[in-house]
Amino acid sequence: MSIIYNSELRVFKLDTPDSTYAIEVSPTGYLLHLYYGASVPDTDLRYLRRMIGVSSTSAQVQDAKENGMSLDTVHLEYPAEGAGDMRISALSIRGENGCNATAIKYKSHKIYNGKPAIKGLPAVYTNTDDEADTLEIVCEDTLTGAEVTLIYTAFTQLDAITRSVRVKNTSDRSFSIERVHSTALDLPDMNFEMMHLQGRWAKERTLVKRHLQYGLQGIHSKRGTSSHHNNPFLALGRDGYTEETGEVYGFSLVYSSNFKVEIEVDFLGTSRVLMGINPDTFGWLLEPGEEFASPEAVMVYSNHGVGGMSRTYHKLYRYNLCRGEWKTKKRPILINNWEATYFDFDDDKLVAIAKDASELGIEMLVMDDGWFGVRNNDKSSLGDWYVNESKLKGGLGKLVERVNALGMKFGIWFEPEMISPDSDLYRAHPDWCIKVEGREMSIGRTQYVLDMSRADVRDNIFDQMYKILSSANIEYVKWDFNRNLTEVGSALLPHERQKEFFHRYILGVYELLERLLAAFPKLLLEGCAGGGGRFDPGMLYYSPQIWTSDDTDAMERLEIQYGTSMVYPLSSMSAHVSACPNHQTKRVTSFKTRGDVAMGGAFGYELDITTLNDDERALVREQVAAYHKYYNVIQNGDYYRLINPTEDKANFTCASAWESVSQDKNEVLLTYVVMRTQPTLQRYIRLAGLDPEKVYTDTATGIKYSGALLMNAGLNISGNYTDGTSLVWHFVADNR
């Protein structure tokens, strides 16, 4: 059992292969955080309890029943609002008396094998019970009757601990939850660099770093999605850490709506981390007997730097978060018609693309926006999910038959959460939009947002999608979401519950996704939100791949895919070879480099393949062959970031490099891309993750290198390269 409780010491100890997490129950029932870090064998960690003396003149408030303890200075496991701890709090409950002073104390606990699901929410799961153990600590607030259960799952093969919270109203009166974070962690000092993924549309998830300072710092979203701008992920690297060495703590939220990650460094230099639903746009009225479940936070500890943290997340999210038919199944190489045609297509044009694509080894055609209603631009028809037969003559079934006859699979685009003012659905049900009565509705991309908290709305959209997906052999759906939520309100919620809307909305989206996949269990679902605006673990639970960004420029994708890899596996990152000059940046990049960069994800194409010349068609065949040849090492191997394209911009060299190593360390694929050339470049790349005792052969040249040589001295890549040059090395171990 990886979790134990010492009843004499009143200490809980959670162990993963290389980390330990410890909690103490104080004499008066407060949960005190003792330790989270590298694995230790000791059970009695009470000496780590932080006790700061409280003078009679101090502003710190001392607990009346526990001599010498101030809640404002101890490390608390799950801090509550207004009962002596003046730092940021994880929990705030406003009772019938109108006050929100909240105090929770230990009541009971249980420890068991396996991991529970969270009703209505995506969460990490176990494939077998021996993969993890779970601790549930039940606490209570005797004044409000709130029973607060802290749920921890420690994984036995990965250095990951998941946390969530369940609040139950055990009283005969209602109360309001104003704040309920999924995790809280007090660290003993502030000697950390904070890392997070910042961005915007077409520039998502760029890695940003800054050292912790006294006071508040953090990231958030209140856009109704996890957003292009901040990802629900944050890491803390202890001073001196590197990509492959040192201590790093990762925090990732399995949630697709408004979130907040806050860090406060207090007057003593203690760092407190909170992660959960954004309390700025949240409230929940809990009636007697009702329960509320928070989304799940995933904490990862690494003493092998940022790379060690990332590889843990990659394994956990690929094998214990993604689900279904396509969880680990080899994905088809697809071609999407969006950048080839935009709205201007018909069935013959799509079949022409499919014919040329099939001849080159591409395996699936995806029909993007414009196939439904009277949709010839972005100004109409969202919500009218019936086939536009003026474009698809003979209907959808006939088109799919023609594509299948070419040996190609078929996929289709939907934007289920949206509605156009110019649509049959809006004319019939204008009340189905998100809106606040009396306030003008904002519009984005000429569309409004449907109220997905309503069952009748979800039923209508599901029925329309079911009819389409049942009408033909459709094996893939791209689920898009192209605007933020504004003027947030629901016609069905009473005024005292309107603050529940954002959470109810995403619960409705999750329910619809769950229903769709239950009806079509073999469907490959790809998430999208104006590109990468909802690239989060919550969506990965339903869609094992997500459109990484609307920016398909290979040079831009270097930073986007580098940042995304901090927490998300390569198999989740849809990456396509697109047209050139690029449609977003107008940059000209070689076809080879576009392919090499796209190979670092779920590989595909986004261009009019019928216009390619013979040389480009030959390159497509080579790329398709490379995808199949290197699939296992890229998708199932360990990923190592070798050169950070964001930081390298500040140097003279300006490049990006990454590496995949097979699990048995017998195969290596190294990719190097020059972003900005230099007249005289001298550079060595030190590889990582190899077996130092093995001898690796470069399959292109036959040159042999020891693993130790490649990791310690590096590979000499000196030379003169033009901007946008990409180089790929493939090594195999002689004794594999």
CATH code linked to domain 640-733: 2.60.40.1180
Q: Which residues pair with 450 in a beta bridge?
A: 433
Strands 655-661 and 667-674: antiparallel
- Options 3.40.980.10, 3.40.50.2000, 3.20.20.70, 3.40.50.300; which CATH number does 334-630 get? 3.20.20.70
The one catalytic residue in 159, 347, 384, 550 is 550
DSSP track, 72-113: TTS-BSS-BSSSS--S--SEEEE-TTS------EEEEEEEEE
- Identify whether the C-beta of residue 36 lies closer than 8 Å to the C-beta of residue 175: no
Tokens of 396: 């959808």
Q: Identify the CA nearest to 422 among candidates 396, 444, 448.
A: 448
Distance in angstroms between the alpha carbons of the first and the last residue of the chain: 35
Domain boundary assignment for the chain: 3-320, 334-630, 640-733
168 and 498 in contact (C-beta within 8 Å)? Answer: no
- Tens digit of pLDDT for each residue in 697-726? 999 999 999 999 999 999 998 888 889 999
Q: Where are the alpha helices (DSSP H) in 240-326?
A: 305-320
pLDDT value at residue 391: 95
Residue 561, class by beta-carbon neighbours within 10 Å (0-12 exposed, 13-18 middle, 19+ buried)? buried
Would you say 476 and 412 are in contact if contact means Cβ atoms under 8 Å apart?
yes
The C-alpha atoms of residue 153 and residue 137 are separated, in whole angstroms, by 12
Chain position carrying tokens 């746009």: 281
The reply to whether 480 belongs to the active site is yes
pLDDT score, position 678: 74
Q: From the candidates 85, 159, 480, 596, give the one annotated as an active-site residue.
A: 480
What SS3 state is found at 286?
Answer: strand
- Which residue positions in the chain have pLDDT lower than 70? 51-68, 649-653, 679-681, 736
CA geometry: angle 216, 205, 561, nearest 5 deg: 150
Question: Got the DSSP string for 179-232?
Answer: EEEEEEEEES---EEEEEEE--TTS--EEEEEE--SEEEEEEE-SSSS-SSEEE
CATH superfamily entry for domain 3-320: alpha-galactosidase from lactobacil brevis (2.70.98.60)
Residue 140: what residue type?
Answer: E
The answer to whether 605 and 591 are in contact (CB under 8 A) is no
- The reported pLDDT for the residue numbered 581 is 94
Rounded (5°) CA angle 247-254-328:
90
Task: Decide if 510 contacts 122 (C-beta within 8 A).
Answer: yes
The full length of the chain comes to 736
- pLDDT on residue 55: 47
pTM, to two decimals: 0.96
Q: Vertex 69, ends 64 and 71: CA angle to 5°?
A: 90
Distance CA 685, CA 689 (A): 13
pLDDT at position 736, please?
61
Lookup: tokens for 705: 């290198």
What angle is formed at CA 391 by the lines to CA 387 and CA 397, rounded to 5 degrees?
Answer: 50
Find the DSSP H helices in 223-328.
305-320
